[in-house]
Structure formats: C-alpha cells, structure tokens
C-alpha cells in the first residue's frame, strides 16, 4: 500500500456542445476506480434515454430555486434557458476522502468555482477545456445529435461559438479528435495531476517531504 495519501482532485471539464465532454467524463469515471462523476441538477426536461439520478437530477424550477436559496449548490448557472447546478454534497465529501470528482459544467459555472475561496477547493481544482478543431466540425457534431429542433441547434451553435472564446481561462486544453485520443489525453492529465507533490500527504497528515518523515520511502536510497 502506498505510504502517501492525497486529497481528491476536483476536475472541471467544459467545452461547446458536441465536444463530447460528458461522454469523456463518463468514460473516465467508468474505467478509473478513483474517479466519480458529479451528477448535476437541471430544470431542463430529460432527453430520450436519460435517467433521473444517473444523467441529471431533474428538478422543477421552484425546487431548483429553493435549493439555490438554501445554498445547496457549489455553483449554478442558466444555460440554454435552463438552470444547471452542482450540489455541494456531491463533491466536497468525496474530495475529502481522496476521490477524484469530474464535473461537466459550462464556462459560467467554471468561473464561479474558480472564485471560491475555500482552500480545500482551490487546492483540488484543475480545469480542462475541450476544443473542437473547427466550425465545420462543430456544425456537424451539433446537428448529428438529432434530438434538437433547428432553432435549438442554432442556439447551441451560437452558444458554442461564445463558449469557445473562453478556452484560455482553463489550465488545460484538449483539441478533440477521436473519442479514444480524447480519453487518452484526459486520462494522462488526471494521472499527472495525481502525482503533484502538493496533493500528497504522509500517514501523519503532513506533506511528505523528507526521508526523516517517511523512512519507508527512502529505505533503499
């Protein structure tokens, strides 16, 4: 067993509609036993095949607004005319126990999380933007979903172009290629972040810095 422990990573993933960010987060959390996907709340109606509690917590606007007033959300924002938010309890307890949490949220929500002063959140945070290689690919992917009306596609395209302007606010960017390439890069980022020394703690709760504190690490040196 590793002599080092760490606090979990809070990983924000944003990108325009069609960037595949939800699929990417789902794929990593399904294949990595240290990761969990934070299921958001939304006031939008479920799409075909979506399951309450798995894809989203589907709430009425009144319920959502009451929760927002009670301070239950880590962040929330209006996106495409609907409210979306991440529940604090779906994130904070997990990070404390060393789980990595993947949050698929829009650029407004990401900006709000970056402003949170709580050191536990600031130390845990990484942010990744998924870019599409060009406008043509964006239109292709947005139209390809097939579940939206032409008006919704037009709104999503407008929002997607707006959203793309924020990629430099993020610490990492992945230019989307095949799903396999995207997942490989995403996993590489998360794996590298797990090894950052500022996240690591020794058995006694202090940062592992010297052989004196952790003779077992340096036994063969």
What is the edge-to-edge ordering of all strands in the sheet holding 82-87? 57-58, 41-42, 82-87, 73-79
40 near ligand 5GP, rule: CB under 6 A: yes
152 near ligand 5GP, rule: CB under 6 A: no
Place of tokens 């609907």: 82
| Cβ proximity to ligand 5GP, 34 vs 108, nearer residue | 108
| Cβ proximity to ligand 5GP, 84 vs 186, nearer residue | 84
Please, which of residues 84-103 interact with ligand 5GP by CB under 6 A?
Answer: 84-86
For ligand 5GP, which residue of 36, 100, 104, 127 counts as binding (CB under 6 A)?
104
193 near ligand 5GP, rule: CB under 6 A: no
Encoding tokens for residue 33? 């036993």
106 near ligand 5GP, rule: CB under 6 A: yes
Count of residues that bind ligand 5GP according to CB under 6 A: 15
75 near ligand 5GP, rule: CB under 6 A: yes
CB of 44 to ligand 5GP, least distance (A): 5
24 near ligand 5GP, rule: CB under 6 A: no
Encoding tokens for residue 132? 């599409």
Q: Are 122 and 115 in contact (CB under 8 A)?
A: no
| Cβ proximity to ligand 5GP, 79 vs 126, nearer residue | 79
| Cβ proximity to ligand 5GP, 24 vs 208, nearer residue | 24
Sign, Cα dihedral of 160, 145, 30, 80: positive
Closest by alpha carbon to 15, among 149, 133, 136, 97? 133
| Cβ proximity to ligand 5GP, 9 vs 130, nearer residue | 130
CB of 128 to ligand 5GP, least distance (A): 12
Provide the binding-site residues for ligand 5GP, judged by CB under 6 A: 17, 40, 44, 75, 77, 79-80, 84-86, 104-106, 108-109
């Amino acid at each position: 067993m590793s002599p080092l422990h760490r606090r979990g990573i809070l990983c924000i993933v944003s990108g325009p509609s069609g960037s595949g960010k939800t699929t990417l987060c789902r794929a990593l959390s399904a294949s990595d036993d240290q990761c969990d996907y934070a299921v958001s709340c939304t006031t939008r109606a479920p799409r075909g095949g979506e399951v309450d509690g798995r894809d989203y917590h589907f709430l009425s606007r009144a319920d959502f607004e009451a929760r927002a007033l009670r301070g239950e959300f880590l962040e929330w924002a209006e996106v495409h005319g609907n409210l979306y938010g991440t529940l604090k309890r779906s994130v904070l307890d997990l990070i404390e126990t060393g789980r990595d949490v993947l949050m698929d949220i829009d650029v407004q929500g990401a900006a709000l999380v970056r402003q949170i002063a709580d050191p536990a959140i600031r130390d845990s945070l990484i942010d990744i933007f998924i870019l599409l290689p060009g406008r043509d690919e964006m239109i292709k992917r947005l139209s390809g979903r097939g579940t939206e009306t032409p008006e919704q596609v037009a709104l999503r395209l407008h929002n997607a172009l707006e959203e793309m302007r924020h990629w430099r606010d993020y610490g990492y960017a992945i230019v989307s290629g095949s799903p396999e390439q995207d997942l490989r890069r995403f996993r590489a980022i998360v794996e590298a972040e797990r090894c950052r020394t500022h996240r690591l703690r020794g058995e006694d709760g202090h940062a592992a810095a010297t052989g004196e504190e952790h003779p077992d690490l340096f036994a063969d040196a």
